[in-house]
A and B are shown apart, each in its own frame.
Chain A
Amino acid sequence: MSETKNILNVSRRTVLKGSAATTGAALIGGTFPMHFIKNAHAQTFRGDPGNASSIKLGFNVPQSGPYADEGADELRAYQLAVKHLNGEGDGGMLNTIKPLELKGNGILGKKVEFVTGDTQTKSDAARASAKRMIEKDNVAMITGGSSSGVAVAVQGLCQEMGVIFMAGLTHSNDTTGKDKKRYGFRHFFNAYMSGQAIAPVLLDEYGAERRAYHLTADYTWGWTQEESIKAATENIGWETVNTVRTPVGAGDFSQYITPVLNSGADVLILNHYGKDMVNSLTQAVQFGLRDKQVNGKNFEVVVPLYSRLMAQGAGDAAKGILGTTNWHWSLQDEGSQAFVKSFGQEYGFPPSQAAHTCYVQTLLYANACEMAGTFAPWEVIKQLEGFEFDGAGNGKTLYRAEDHQCFKDVLVVRGKQEPQSNFDLLEVVKEVPRAQVEYPADMFGGELGPYQV
């Protein structure tokens, strides 16, 4: 009969003992934890620190994938922001943002702690990581992201879960347009603003008789940027020859660049970001696009969303290329200087625009909690909505209540011909005033949703 033994070779008695013990443990363990049921109590909220002496924030950034460089810099900025909030270091922008109620003793007297996660630049992984922060670590706020696809996905989750999401680097119009959420806030500028800011400069530099060819990253950000830049350039009289979508993280863009040569276009617009942009720009230059004469004009390349990290990656290829950025470390205002100084002291090099926006977002959230006197998200949201401030590096800034988008000056930049250092790669061509990039709040549609979920 030994053939009929249980495979693990356990006698029935042992098993019964074991299962009795398990049941006993379950009974002793008491009721199953059910405290995450939605609406169980009207006034409780996720991330409530209660009587704890500290408050947790969740930093969800890409640590791998095509946007990993930006993610690493974002994380540095977050850690700096936490230091400053807790009163360590030189305080950075805590001394320059006005109005500001932060005192350098944490938020509402609670010490700020943080948890980190890797979004892998994938919506799935980013949401899993955000869920962990909410369900396991009980964070009061989530911030980060360096891809609009991820930002939109995480923002949706945060709305469902009732946790505030302070978007990091996300440039798609959808983030505060079609997919805007009551619990989502964006300090960064968007594709529409880029188009409005860069179009007049393009007209000045390259004239009105141009034929543009778009290569576009195939996701929400690429689509809206293509749409915005196309509209803005057609407005100044340019013709759009063709728009081609390329997969994110493609690596090799040669198959997309070859057709440009024979298309009759004389401007190539690269709606790419991160490593993708580094690769496509480098390859475009290697293919000799910029040495060509088409329709009697010099062939030009434009990168509507530009950043120092990308210019660094592209090296010589970035020289002379026009684009827009949210912020640049060479700005001379008080806020930018203070931030560049403390970031430089901490890490030994100047911050990127991604770092800047993430740093500011963290301070703004902390300040809103301080103003509200509570961490209850619906109260914090009301403080952020319509908040006006200055001294964060982009002049007077408004957090518009209708779509949670910040409005501020936008920079048009160009890759420097003779950089002084490894970081001095961009020169600011023009600071486009806020009024020129504003648009009506209902232009992109979308619904914010309720304050309490």
Chain B
Amino acid sequence: MTNTKIVSPKQDILYMVILSAVVLTMPIWLQPFGAAYPDLMQKFMIFGIFAIGYNILFGLTGYLSFGHAAFLGVGSYTAVWSFKLLSMNVIPALIFGTVLSGLFALAIGFVSLRRSGIYFSILTLAFAQMSYNLAYSVLTPITNGETGLQLTQGDARILDRAAGIQADASLPTPNLFGIEGIGYSGFYICAALMLISFFIYLRIFRSPFGLKLRAIKSNQSRMGYTGYNTRPYLMTAFVISGMYAGLAGSLLAVTDPLAGAERMQWTASGEIVLITILGGVGTLIGPLLGAGVIKYFENILSAFNDTVLVNAFSFLPDWLANGVASVLGLFVGDGWHLTLGLVFMLIVIFLPGGIMEGINRLWRLVSNRSSSSAEDKEKEQPSTKEA
């Protein structure tokens, strides 16, 4: 997957245009899947940002971080504090959330990047669990522990007060100069930021810097022998991906102004690894697809209950319908993790390159067939290699 592709900037722009069209029309084409409601689409975008950021580190350098949820959490807490202290406007929240996560990543990266491989993973995992436990216990005055940090009527909101925005009886919602962070408008805010992040990510992929990161993945010692000091590159990649996570975390707070410590738990860190592998490590849009699939499963499958199943199979005779429903019932509702596990296993076994590999294989199948039917038996060596 690491072979170099030279793609002209024009094609990248085309790529962006297609992606934007697909993303912005989500409220329409997700309708038949039952996923076209704001909260889930916001999650698609937010975890998309998180996943592409993670892919800069894991996909390009091969450094498997098991503690990225810590940056997500830092971003969320910072954003909520920005809402509480400064303003309900999302801009300061996003900026502070991203920057602070970046600084936090700098500190953790400084220590963790001294090791590689499994030791690096364990170090990051340890730091994330440490942050989680701190947020739960010692830092309760800042994080409000298990209850989670929430907005209150009496928050300072210095900038808002100075600008003469009066708080009415209900709690204020985060907004971008009046555009609310919840509902469909919130989705478009997230979508816009996701597209901007994706563009930056695309540029990183195509840049010489991205090439050096790939070189680290393929053989770090060899790169060292050629005279490159790899540490600064790794550090930059780590901080950038930490900032992406921070941006995602602050967006979580924008769409729902509450920050809880469970966002930093190891399961959350594991989820992002899962998303990236499921979608395709090191591929451009694989992580976005992975985020979509996992969030869809989490929200839609977990909502099925036995009554829904029995209704769905009501065309069968009663005893059979109940039987089918009780078997399928194991895989939906609270059993959705089981389904996710099975899908994950199938993908890792049969498509080690994730969903992207599946798509590429299909594409190759289709394009080979069409070219052979054209009786144009020119060997398609370069194009198959590219895919």
Contacts and interface: CB of A to CB of B under 8 A. Distances in A.
Given A25-B29, A64-B334, A449-B170, A131 B302 contact: no
B148 A63 contact: no
Contacts of B282: none
20 contacts: A2-B382, A2-B383, A3-B382, A7-B284, A9-B387, A18-B18, A22-B21, A26-B25, A29-B28, A33-B27, A37-B180, A63-B334, A117-B302, A118-B333, A123-B147, A124-B148, A127-B256, A128-B256, A153-B148, A218-B146
Given A4-B6, A149-B147, A160 B173 contact: yes
Interface string A5-16: 111110010010
A89 interface: no
A271 to B, nearest CB: 13
A317 interface: no
A153 B21 contact: no
Contacts of A220: 146-147
Interface in A136-150: 136, 148-149
A63 B333 contact: yes
Interface in A53-95: 63-64, 68, 79
Nearest to A23: B21
A4 B7 contact: yes
Contacts of B43: 128
B306 to A, nearest CB: 9
Contacts of A79: 307
Main secondary structure of the interface of B (DSSP, over half): helix
Interface of B: 5-8, 11, 14-15, 17-18, 21-22, 25, 27-29, 34, 36-40, 43, 133, 136-137, 140, 145-148, 150, 153, 168-171, 173, 180, 182-185, 256, 258, 260, 262-263, 284, 299, 302-303, 305, 307, 333-334, 363, 367, 382-383, 386-387
A401 to B, nearest CB: 17
A116 B148 CA distance: 23
B37 A135 contact: yes
Interface string A431-451: 000000000000000010110
A156 interface: yes
A219 interface: yes
Interface of A: 2-9, 12, 15, 18-19, 22-23, 25-26, 29, 32-34, 36-38, 63-64, 68, 79, 114-118, 122-125, 127-129, 131-132, 135-136, 148-149, 152-153, 156-157, 159-160, 218-220, 245, 247-248, 447, 449-450, 453
A218 to B, nearest CB: 6
B168 to A, nearest CB: 8
A25 B36 CA distance: 16
Contacts of A128: 39, 43, 256, 299
Nearest to A16: B14
Given A9-B383, A152-B147, A220-B146, A453 B170 contact: yes
A5 B363 CA distance: 15
B148 A123 contact: yes
Given A124-B258, A127-B258, A220-B146, A132 B39 contact: yes
A7 B7 contact: yes
Contact of B25 (A25, A118, A124): A25
A136 B40 contact: yes
Nearest 6 pairs of A and B residues by beta carbon: A219-B146, A63-B334, A131-B39, A136-B37, A135-B37, A450-B169
Contacts of A117: 302-303
Contact of A135 (B38, B262, B363): B38
A4 B171 contact: no
Given A218-B146, A450-B169, A36 B256 contact: no
